[in-house]
């Protein structure tokens, strides 16, 4: 009796599953639905929180400072300033001034040169003079200025002589029309009465008292007399 019951119970369970396959299918579908719901919940819970996390910082590489250790920050130009310079900028052409022929450069002690204005000497007047002492006596002397016209045309002339502290006695021309004389505090001025012909000469003589026979100034038409 007991053996017969056991056999009948196993056969009944197997027979029920075999005869009802929809039960297995329903269980499998239920399991799949549960797993799908769990997966969707996990994805939705992860999405906003995961996107809100900040991105990891990028690694930085420290570059060595190209400036020497003793230089100050202001001594080197910043990269931003060098980058802002326009590569197409051309240096402006400097205009050199026209050199002045009257200027010359004289070196200084430090090696630099400074421009020095050199004024060319004025040309000698065409009428010149040469001074000499003709005779000396007690208390005075007779002086002479040879006036010569070096040009080819006749010219008038003016002679000026200075003898500080002296006294002019008289002044005259040797063998020529006389001119005019004007006394001054320290000498006299003589103006020709007739133009001196080109290439000719005339002697202007004068007597001066109580003065040195060498004048402090002797000029003919502004030029210094020779012979002093």
- Give me the CATH number covering residue 216: 2.60.40.290
Q: Which two tokens stand for residue 96?
A: 């050199």
Query: What does the pLDDT read at residue 83?
Result: 44
Q: What is the number of domains present in the chain?
A: 1
For residue 189, being part of any structural domain is answered with yes
Query: What does the pLDDT read at residue 37?
Result: 82
**Residue whose structure tokens are 């065409």:** 126
Query: How far apart are alpha carbons 190 and 160 in whole angstroms?
Result: 6
The verdict on pTM exceeding 0.75 is: no
Which residues form the domain of 195?
Answer: 127-224
222: left (phi over 0), alpha (psi -120 to 50) or beta: left
Mind listing the pLDDT tens digit of every residue in the chain (228 residues)? Answer: 444 445 454 555 555 555 667 777 788 888 888 888 887 777 665 555 445 556 656 655 565 565 655 555 444 445 445 444 455 556 556 666 666 656 555 555 555 556 666 666 667 789 999 999 999 988 899 999 999 999 999 999 999 999 999 999 999 999 999 999 999 989 999 999 899 999 999 999 999 999 999 999 999 999 999 998
For residue 205, being part of any structural domain is answered with yes
Query: What does the pLDDT read at residue 166?
Result: 94
Query: How far apart are alpha carbons 94 and 129 in whole angstroms?
Result: 52
- Do the Cβ atoms of 89 and 101 come closer than 8 Å? no
Q: If you ran DSSP here, which 8-state letter would residue 66 be given?
A: -
Query: What does the pLDDT read at residue 145?
Result: 98
Query: In this structure, is the dihedral angle defined by the CA atoms of residues 170, 173, 176 and 178, taken in order, positive or negative?
Result: negative
Bridge partners (DSSP) of residue 103 are: 117
Q: Which two tokens stand for residue 49?
A: 């929180």
Q: Taking the chain, what is the end-to-end CA distance rounded to the nearest angstrom? A: 181
Query: What does the pLDDT read at residue 34?
Result: 85
For residue 108, being part of any structural domain is answered with no
For residue 171, being part of any structural domain is answered with yes
For residue 84, being part of any structural domain is answered with no
- Could you tell me where the beta strands, DSSP code E, fall in the chain? 103-107, 113-117, 127-137, 140-149, 158-162, 167-174, 180-183, 187-191, 201-209, 217-220, 223-224
Query: How far apart are alpha carbons 11 and 19 in whole angstroms?
Result: 12
Query: How far apart are alpha carbons 128 and 39 in whole angstroms?
Result: 129
For residue 57, being part of any structural domain is answered with no
For residue 38, being part of any structural domain is answered with no
Query: What does the pLDDT read at residue 124?
Result: 72
- Do the Cβ atoms of 133 and 180 come closer than 8 Å? no
- Do the Cβ atoms of 112 and 106 come closer than 8 Å? no
Query: How far apart are alpha carbons 21 and 29 in whole angstroms?
Result: 13
CA 20 to chain centre: 110
């Amino acid at each position: 009796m007991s053996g017969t019951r056991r056999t009948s119970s196993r056969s009944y369970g197997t027979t029920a599953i075999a005869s009802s396959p929809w039960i297995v299918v329903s269980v499998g579908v239920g399991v799949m639905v549960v797993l799908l719901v769990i997966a969707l919940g996990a994805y939705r819970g992860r999405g906003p929180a995961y996107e809100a996390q900040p991105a990891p910082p990028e690694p930085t590489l420290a570059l060595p400072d190209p400036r020497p250790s003793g230089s100050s920050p202001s001594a080197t130009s910043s990269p931003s300033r060098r980058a802002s310079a326009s590569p197409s900028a051309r240096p402006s052409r400097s205009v050199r001034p026209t050199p002045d022929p009257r200027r010359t450069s004289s070196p200084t002690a430090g090696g630099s040169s400074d421009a020095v204005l050199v004024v060319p000497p004025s040309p000698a007047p065409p009428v010149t003079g040469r001074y000499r002492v003709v005779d000396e006596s007690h208390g005075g002397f007779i002086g002479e200025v040879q006036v010569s016209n070096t040009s080819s045309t006749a010219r008038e002339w003016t002679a000026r002589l200075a003898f500080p502290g002296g006294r002019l006695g008289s002044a005259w021309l040797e063998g020529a029309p006389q001119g005019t004389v004007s006394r001054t505090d320290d000498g006299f001025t003589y103006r020709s009465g007739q133009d001196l012909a080109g290439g000719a000469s005339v002697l202007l003589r004068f007597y001066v008292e109580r003065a040195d026979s060498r004048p402090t100034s002797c000029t003919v038409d502004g030029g210094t007399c020779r012979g002093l």
